[in-house]
């Protein structure tokens, strides 16, 4: 009984820290989402895309990124992979299944590699040293990706692949 009474403040402190961390993480991720959406919207405007407002739809916004960096067929595949990754994440949260979890991990690693290849193509079109931006995106596990997309909206875009 005494152990439970003395450990309660420690447990509540840890719980409070976890909740604060998750709230701050959610605010940061939402802010990065806004940056990425604005960046993709401006890129779509510069390129003259008809449906540029899908840059605000999670998952479908990757269609603009894929269309800008890849051929149309590959941009559709890239968008489908993004949507599948989001759906697998939701399924893993709500369904406790080890096979589903491991398939989500493998698919997420595969998606991350493909995403970094697409981002490298974007960086090649926008920046003079694309390797540095790709390395920073990989090191931060894609955390800097929205910021780099946002800053690429003001750069001069080349049309070479």
Evaluate if residue 2 carries a pLDDT over 80: no
The answer to pTM > 0.85 is no
Q: Mind listing the pLDDT tens digit for each residue in 76-121?
A: 888 888 888 888 888 888 888 888 888 889 999 998 998 899 999 9
* Residue 111 contacts residue 81 (beta carbons within 8 Å): yes
Judge whether 159 lies within some domain.
Answer: no
- pLDDT confidence band for 161 (50 / 70 / 90): very low
Residue 146 structural domain = 2-152
Q: Mind listing the pLDDT tens digit for each residue in 55-66?
A: 898 888 888 888
Judge whether 158 lies within some domain.
Answer: no
Question: Helices 2-47 and 145-152 sit at what angle, rounded to 10 degrees?
Answer: 20
Judge whether 7 lies within some domain.
Answer: yes
Q: Mind listing the pLDDT tens digit for each residue in 67-82?
A: 888 887 888 888 888 8
- Listed in sequence order, the residues at least 6 apart from 55 whose beta carbon sits closer than 8 Å to its beta carbon are 37, 40, 41, 44, 61, 64
Judge whether 120 lies within some domain.
Answer: yes
Percent of the chain with pLDDT over 90: 25
Judge whether 78 lies within some domain.
Answer: yes
Number of independent structural domains in the chain: 1
């Amino acid at each position: 009984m005494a152990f439970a009474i003395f450990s309660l403040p420690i447990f509540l402190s840890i719980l409070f820290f976890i909740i604060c961390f998750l709230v701050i993480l959610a605010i940061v991720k939402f802010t990065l989402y806004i940056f990425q959406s604005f960046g993709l919207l401006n890129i779509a405007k510069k390129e003259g895309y008809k449906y540029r407002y899908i840059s605000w739809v999670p998952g479908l916004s990757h269609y603009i990124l894929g269309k800008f960096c890849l051929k149309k067929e590959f941009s559709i595949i890239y968008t489908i992979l993004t949507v599948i990754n989001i759906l697998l994440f939701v399924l893993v949260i709500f369904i406790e299944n080890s096979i589903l979890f491991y398939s989500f991990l493998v698919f997420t690693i595969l998606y991350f590699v493909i995403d970094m290849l697409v981002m490298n193509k974007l960086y090649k079109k926008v920046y003079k040293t694309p390797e540095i931006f790709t390395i920073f995106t990989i090191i931060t596990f894609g955390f800097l990706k929205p910021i780099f997309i946002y800053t690429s909206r003001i750069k001069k875009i080349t049309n070479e692949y």
